[in-house]
Each structure stands twice: as C-alpha cells, then as structure tokens.
Amino acid sequence: MSIKKKLNYSYVVWLFFLTTSSLTTSCWSDMESVPPAALKPEITTVLPETGEAGTVITIAGARFGTDATKVRVRFDNTTDAAEILSVSDTEIKVKAPGGFSDKAVNIQVFVSGQLLPSQYAQFYYVERFRPEITSVPATTFYNAVLVISGINFSPVAEENIVKFGDIEATVTEASETSLIVLVPDLGDVTSTDITVARADLVSNAMPIDINLDQNTIAKYDWAATPVRNGIVHKTGTFALFGDVQRRINVLDVTLDESNELAIGFSTTNASTVNMIAGLGGIAGINAGYFPISGAVDKDPYIRIDGVEVQEGTLTSVSTRFVNAALTINNNIASVRHITGSGNLNLQAAQIPFSEAENVIVCGPILFVDHNHLQQDDNPHNTSSTARTGLGVSADGKRVIMVTVDTGNGVTGVTTPQLGLILEALGAASGMNFDGGGSTTMYAQGLGSNGLVNLPSGGSQRAVRSVVYVK
C-alpha cells in the first residue's frame, strides 16, 4: 500500500472512532440525566393478595399516568387484563382475567412512553371449580320461575351467567347449590340446553323441554280489565292442548290491605254471584263440592275466621276429592297437599288454628312448588269438562283464580291441564275446585251483573261455598 493510501485509511479510522465516541458519550450523558426510577412505573402493593377471575384488584404505586388507554396490566407474562376500571398516577383498579386457578401469578404494569415495565408483584388465584348442573325440571316455559340445582355456583346472583341455548336468563336468587332464574322468551323451540358460567368456567349442558301449551298461555295477549286496584280480570278464547278452542277466565289478585281473601259458606245454597255479592265481595269463584242429586257425598271441611262451619264427610271418600286445602292466615294464602291415613277431612281439621284461620278442603291437588302430581286415571280427572281452579304464588301474596268453560263452541280441560294453566299464569302451587255446572266466576261491574263466564248448564247452579276477595 502506498504512503498516500495509508494516510487516507488512518484518517478514516480516526474519524470513525471520534464520531462514535462523541455519539456514545452524548447518549449515556442523556440517560444519566434521568433518574433510573423515572424510567418505569412502580408497584408498591397489590390488594387483595388473593382472589379469582373477576376479582377487582387495586394496584398502588407511582408513575401510572392518568390515561387508561396507555396502561396495560399483564398477568403471568401472558395475559393482559381486559377490564381496567380506573387509572390515576398512583392507583390502578383492574379485574383479574380468567384462565388461572390455584396459582401465584406475576403482575406487571406497562405504561406507553415509559422505557421499562414495572417490577413484578404477585397475585394468588385461589382454586376454582367448574359449575356443575345436577338437575332441572323436565319442562319449562316463558317467564317461568325455574330452579337449577348443582354445585360450585356463586352465591352472588349476578356472577352466574345462565343461558338457554344462546339466550341469557335473569338470575333472581343464588346459592352455591341452587339458582332461581326467570326463563327468557325462547321462541318456538321445543327443547334447549341450559348452561351456567362463572367467569371463564362453563358448566355441563343440561337439556330441558319447552311446554308449548304453557308458552302459549304465558305469552297470550289477554283481554285484561281492572276490577279494582290489585285485582285484574283476564279472558281469552284460543286453541290450547291441540287445535281445540278453550275459553278461560282469570282473576289475578294481589293480597294487601285493600284486598282480603275469604271463604264464604251457605247451608241453603245460592248462586256464586249472589253469595259473593251478598257477602260484600268484589270478585271470586265457586269452591267446594256439595251434595247434588245422584252424586257421591263429598262435603269438604270448612273453617271460617277460626270457626269450624262444616266438618265435612267423615265416611269413606276418595282422596281425589279431599287431598287439597286452601288455607288463609293473616291474609296470606297457601295451597296444601293433605296426606295421611284415614279420612282427609279429619286431617285438615288438625291444621292448627294459629296457622290457618280459614280452611276449605277440595281436590285433587294439582301441583306443589311447581311439582305436578300424578292424577288418578279416573273420568273425574281425565274428562274435558268445565273446571274451577285456584293457585297461589310462593309467598302467598298473589292468588290466581281460573274458570274454564265448556259448550257454546269451546271445550273444557282435564285436571292435569288445569294445573298447567294455573302454573303458566304464575302460581307455584294449585288445586282443583268443584267444576262442571258449578264452574262460575264473579267480578263486580263486569259481564252480566258480575257473571263473567258462561256456566255449562246455561245458568248458574246454586252452590254451598265460594272463595272471594273483599
């Protein structure tokens, strides 16, 4: 290499080291002018120290900024929290993401514009168990109150996501082993699967059938007329239980200081309308069986305002006529299933007066707490005839009275069908009263002098007892 080339090469090398040295000195000089702590956010505490997916975690520290869009909170070096609830320069509130159980994970905070993430802090995910459904009723319908039994549910109602297929239901009550939900509108499907999710853990799928007849009743556009505040009369004629037309009348009653449920009784017999009106009632229905030409004697036990007014038939009588009782105490109604050996009127008479000031026996019992009882295969239960029924809500403060007519272009129902009607209208428990030509409903100011249904005999039959609101 010539001397001139050697000089040129030495100059280039010298210039490179001079430039590099200058740049390096400048960069480190800038870095050294910034305190190391200011290069990253800092975590001082994480509270609570343990929890599960969905737990709200408070991260205290420094240099978080105030713009949540510039903050990321990373769990276990893999998962960013999807929900950052709030950010201040010294505190972040974040929901713990799912995907972890029985594990300590590292938490780091990243802030856009900061050169480094925070140091690690730890949060322990407690062990979680997947929800499991063990049982549901066989069938359901729109707006039904449904009980889901299982394990590993959250006792906080809103932490359980219950779905019927893809449609979410409202959870009204919750425990670790039971959920009470309102069934959503499922359209015209005949069956679906129920699942329960708790954060990211989803239960097994439990199949359930949809009772389309009860769906029809629950979704029907009833012609509704207020009788007075807390009492509504509803009526409708529509195809039900097949293509057969049914005419149904309903009294939907809320019991309160203005609306008192009562039992009426007359040894001389009178029409339902006249008896209720004569007692000062506002609305009601016929009630218990009574002797009629050619019929088996099956008088019910009746107690009114703490006084036994009829002991009922004490000889042998089929349980289907006496295995249910309407009881009223302090204006709270209940439908009871009367069981035991011997005459069931005598069993009803043993109900303590402190539990029921008013009692009337009839039957058959149709369902208790939404559990429908198997009915005897007997013409009394299986014939499609005029029916009178009564149901009560679980708290006893709502009473549903129903009459189903027969004749004049419509057909009556069986006792199991009457039970389905009462439940679909909102009752938790229900019973059958005397039907056929006795079936009558009264609502003051409506219909023909208060008669709102069409008795099957063409005119009202004189009866011995009524249930009414005064």
Asked, for residue 30, whether it belongs to a domain, the answer is no
In a domain, residue 265? The reply is yes
Q: Using one digit for the tens of pLDDT, what is the confidence trace for 205-225?
A: 999 999 999 999 999 999 999
Say if 4 falls within a structural domain.
Answer: no
Residue 8 resides in a domain:
no
Angle at 43 between CA 39 and CA 48, to 5 degrees: 165
CATH of the domain at 142: 2.60.40.10
431 and 336 in one domain? yes
- Residues 459 and 397 placed together within one structural domain of the fold: yes
Average pLDDT, the chain: 91
User: pTM, whole model, 2 decimals?
Assistant: 0.78
Domain end residue (candidates: 125, 143, 175) = 125
pLDDT digits (tens, 9 = 90+) for 12-61: 333 444 444 443 344 333 444 555 556 899 999 999 999 988 899 999 99
Whether 329 contacts 373, CB under 8 Å: no
384 token code pair: 């499609």
**Is residue 188 located within the same domain as residue 277?**
no
Q: Please state the rounded mean pLDDT for residues 299-327.
A: 93
| Distant-in-sequence, close-in-space partners of 424: CB < 8 Å, separation ≥ 6 | 141, 144, 211, 213, 214, 215, 217, 218
Q: What is the H or E stretch that residue 198 is in?
A: strand 191-198
* Structural domain includes residue 367: yes
Task: For helices 415-424 and 212-219, give the axis angle rounded to 10 degrees.
Answer: 50
Q: Give 188-207 pLDDT, tens digit per residue.
A: 999 999 999 998 899 999 99
pLDDT band at 153 (very low <50, low <70, confident <90, very high): very high
Domain assignment of residue 23, yes or no: no
Distant-in-sequence, close-in-space partners of 34: CB < 8 Å, separation ≥ 6: none
Model confidence at 443, in pLDDT bands (50, 70, 90)? very high
pLDDT for residue 35: 56
Closest CA to 436 of 407, 408, 398, 399: 407
Among 34-38, 115-119, 337-341, 418-422, name the one with the lowest average pLDDT: 34-38
What the block records as the tokens of 185 is: 């509108």
- Percentage of residues in the chain with pLDDT exceeding 70? 91
* Contacts of residue 158, Cβ cutoff 8 Å, sequence gap at least 6: 171
pLDDT on residue 6: 40
State how far the Cα of 248 lies from the Cα of 292, in Å rounded to an integer. 25
Assess whether 160 and 230 both reside in one domain.
no
CA–CA distance, 417 with 394 (Å, rounded to integer) = 20
Residue 304 domain boundaries? 214-469
- Judge whether 1 lies within some domain: no
Residues 378 and 444 occupy one common structural domain: yes
Q: Are residues 364 and 405 in the same domain?
A: yes
Q: Which of 125, 155, 180 is the last residue of a domain?
A: 125
- 118 and 142 part of one domain: no
How many domains would you assign to the chain?
3
> Do residue 110 and residue 221 come from a single domain?
no
Among residues 101, 125, 149, the one where a domain terminates is 125
Share of the chain above pLDDT 90, in %: 84
The amino acid that residue 122 corresponds to is: Q
pLDDT band at 315 (very low <50, low <70, confident <90, very high): confident
Residues 64-81: what's their mean pLDDT?
96
Whether 310 and 256 share a structural domain: yes
> Starting at the edge strand that comes first in sequence, how are the strands of the sheet with 103-111 ordered?
50-51, 121-125, 103-111, 71-75, 79-80
Question: Is residue 10 included in any domain, yes or no?
Answer: no
Backbone angles phi, psi at 276, to 5 degrees: -65, -45
